[in-house]
Amino acid sequence: MSSNTKKRSALGKGLGALLENADTDITSKSDSAVIGAIAMIPISSIEANPFNPRSNFEKEALIELSESIKVHGIIQPLTVRKLGRDRYQLISGERRFRAAQLADLEEVPAYIRIANDQTMLEMALVENIQREDLNPIEVALSYQRLIDECKLTQDQLGQKISKGRSSITNHLRLLKLPVDIQAGVKSNKISMGHARALVSAGDENVQLELFKRVLAEKLSVRDLEALIRGEEIKPVAGNNQKVKNSKSPAISEQEYTFKEHLSDRLSTKVDIKKSTTGKGKLVINFNSEFDLNRIMDLLNK
């Protein structure tokens, strides 16, 4: 197996697997005592990672981490690649790197690796996608960069990051939203559920108008979906609750979660329609005979 194949195989398991792969070390393979070792590197010799998809770093959180670093030091080493004599570039750990700068550290512990630009991009993106604190837009941008710059299909991307194709598709669709709505997702003004509903709400003007209503009236995802279906939401006199002008009763939170889960699994729109008697139907949409067969295959697994 070639070293390039080994590196690609490791990428599918995340950055941790890559770091355990000796083929990514710059040190001599014959020197087993050095391979994988941690070195102390002057912080002035490290430059930021231009491939990092993460663009937002909360100042208060960085200050808190900086104070912790002053007391305990950096527990988890950074990962860098060597650019030249006494010059390094971050692969992962930019938050720790920035906090270390705030703490006025002169040097930091780091793993040293070698990587070309494409491998560097894949490593940085895969590492960041696996973080829990990325917002959905940052995740979507990471997916798009891996697809565009690393020439991956959605299926190949799903294998690398252990995500279903429907999850990848749902994130990528967010990038079609107007900039103002994407900014609302990034700043947590609306949830990914709101954003997903807005994607299919109509043209840009309709999306923006609904977005403004969500913010002004603090609408839930279910309220927004009702608006999109034409079921006007009206405030109840004397309180901030809202009711749907619809003959169909609202579905419960548990039912809504199930609907979203099934929609993700099947990569199609799913609806739960209930009557006042408690009866109803589960509607699974399909676009063609081929799409129907695809959905049936998934349900039969």
Q: Which residues are catalytic?
A: 94
Burial of 171 (0-12, 13-18, 19+ CB in 10 A): buried
User: Whose structure tokens read 């001599």?
Assistant: 28
Q: DSSP class of residue 251?
A: P
Element (H, E) at 242: strand 242-244
Element (H, E) at 98: helix 94-102
DSSP 197-229: HHHTS-SHHHHHHHHHHHHHHT--HHHHHHHHT
Closest CA to 123 of 146, 100, 103, 156: 146
User: Whose structure tokens read 């709101």?
Assistant: 194
Long-range contact list for 275-283, CB < 8 A, 24+ apart?
275/248, 275/249, 276/247, 276/249
